[in-house]
Amino acid sequence: MIKPTSAVFSLVAFFLFACSGDKSKTKAPVFRYNESNGISSLDPAYARDLESMWACNQLFDGLLRLDSQLRVQPCLAKAYSLSMDGTEYTFTLRTDVFFHPDSCFGPSGTRRFKASDAVFSFQRILDQGTASPGSWIFDALAQPVDSAIFAINDSTLLIRLQQPFPAFPGLLTTQYANIVPKEAIASYGEDFRAHPIGTGPFKFAFWMEDVALVFHRNANYWEFDEKGNKLPYLEAVKIDFVRDMNAEFMGLLKGDYDFMSGIHPSFKDELLSPFGELNPVYTDRIRFQKVPFIKTDYIGILVDPEIPLARNHPIFDSRIRRAINLGIDRRKMVRYLRNNSVFPAESGFVPPGLPGFKANQSSLSYKPDEARRLLAEAGYPGGKGLPPIEIATTSDYVDICEFIQHDLQILGIPVEINVLPGGTHRELVAKSELLAFRKSWLADYADAGNFLGLFYSENFCPQGPNYTHFSDPDFDSLFLAAQKEPSDSLRNLLFARMDSIVTAQAPVIPLYYDQVSHFVRREISGLETNPINMLDLRRVRKASGINH
């Protein structure tokens, strides 16, 4: 890792304030945060992790975006319409948007965004030479793909699908669908990862990998607030890459950072009370913002009768799996192990915040007596004769698995814990070589169908995310119907029925629904916390005169 020096920090400071035109101006509103996991690329074609998504969201725009309520909203597309048969989307694009200034545009230094840029950007994602992990967002396109995306004119774009797919606009809100100019790709090639050019609220200024990344305000950004003020309000964004989470925490307390996301176990008891609220010691400096995250942590169970590992163990009996589901006190688990910073997954697999969530239902609440009845019905009264169930996990979640082990032992269900390196764990899960495994699912886009796709029989791993190899014809029929159903209310009913099938057959043991936890300095205003945990700095303000 490159070690920061005084020269490096001087260079970073220069780039922070060069945009102001006044080198003496050292109190411009600069938003600072730390990214302990680092950033591998600033090219949205490879924005597969949250760290890269956050950075790309400041530099690029897409045709559409999600608001804080997960509703699809216009962005570079002012509006869109859908054909009567549900297969053609026509987008009307803005005509007042320009790319960030760069020499790749020739003497003009920039140019206006137009429909052909969307065609180029989407075809680039689909190009096998790009090898983008986001090519799947266009799986629904009509064939051949060349005729599925085309510009009618500079401000009108047409996209054709094979069949109706109501979730498609949501896919266009992902960072993979951000718009890039062909001149920049032609000029920089693979170096575009470190020389990004988009239409977003901030423009690239400086990146010393593993040390710091700086963005400057895009003075020509197209968006205004409700009072006619140009966005963004901030002059710059600075991202550090300090790997020590405790140093990040201390930086937040001192004001070196304006924001911190997530709660590391090493300081969760310092920051949060047992009830999940901010420690009163810090309320004068920090606000705690939280919303349900569209992420579910679970234990997956291999249920494929074609695989001896699954077929030959009693856990193949759904009654045993249901007993496990009812034998875990999730409320106690999240209280003692996560300081109530997550939510017990008592309603099913689909988390709160998404349509299809079964609100006010507690079908997976702690019912040890019912669990004992199911064990006896399956032929293992009190767990007698039941062989051990091995749960594979990584080191970060040993405490969760030990809690499960304790609760299930009370019922007589023997559990063994197998701690594996992260890479080994992922590989064995994908190869269907683990009977039971801890895993989580974070939605790729804000639709319950993205969660329930984990149980569609055509998605068996390793080709898809159905790691349990669950298969049910009724579920598959409902899933396919939901993919085509244009009515949101009817789709939500189909999602709820699918989730109920999963709960009844229990190929997974949902543990908890995650929470987006943001700790924000009091000097910061306008930073919204949303269920997809997307960092949006367009409307963020920082109190003047406070800059460390």
Q: What is the 3 state secondary structure string of 311-374?
A: HCCHHHCHHHHHHHHHCCCHHHHHHHHHCCCCEECCCCCCCCCCCCCCCCCCCCCCCHHHHHHH
What value does the mean pLDDT of the chain take? 91
Domain ranges of the chain: 61-199, 293-515
Rounded CA separation 426/416 (Å): 19
What was the pLDDT predicted at 17? 52
Q: What is the mean pLDDT of residues 238-245?
A: 93
- The class (CATH top level) of 61-199 is alpha beta
341 confidence band (pLDDT: 50, 70, 90): confident
6 confidence band (pLDDT: 50, 70, 90): very low
> Residues of the chain with pLDDT > 70: what percent?
94
Q: What is the pLDDT of residues 405-455, one digit of tens each?
A: 999 999 999 999 999 998 899 999 999 999 999 999 988 788 899 899 999
Q: What pTM was estimated for this model as a whole?
A: 0.83
Rounded CA separation 86/491 (Å): 15
What is the three-class DSSP state of 437?
A: strand
199 confidence band (pLDDT: 50, 70, 90): very high
Rounded CA separation 534/294 (Å): 11
pLDDT over threshold 90, residue 60: yes
Specify the CATH number of the domain 293-515.
3.10.105.10
475 vs 50, more confident = 475
Residue 295's alpha-carbon distances to 61, 91, 276, 392, 510, in angstroms, are 24, 31, 18, 20, 11
Contact (Cβ atoms closer than 8 angstroms) between residue 458 and residue 483: no
Rounded CA separation 223/450 (Å): 31
Q: What is the pLDDT of residues 352-392, one digit of tens each?
A: 878 767 766 778 999 999 999 999 999 999 999 999 999 99
Contact (Cβ atoms closer than 8 angstroms) between residue 301 and residue 507: yes
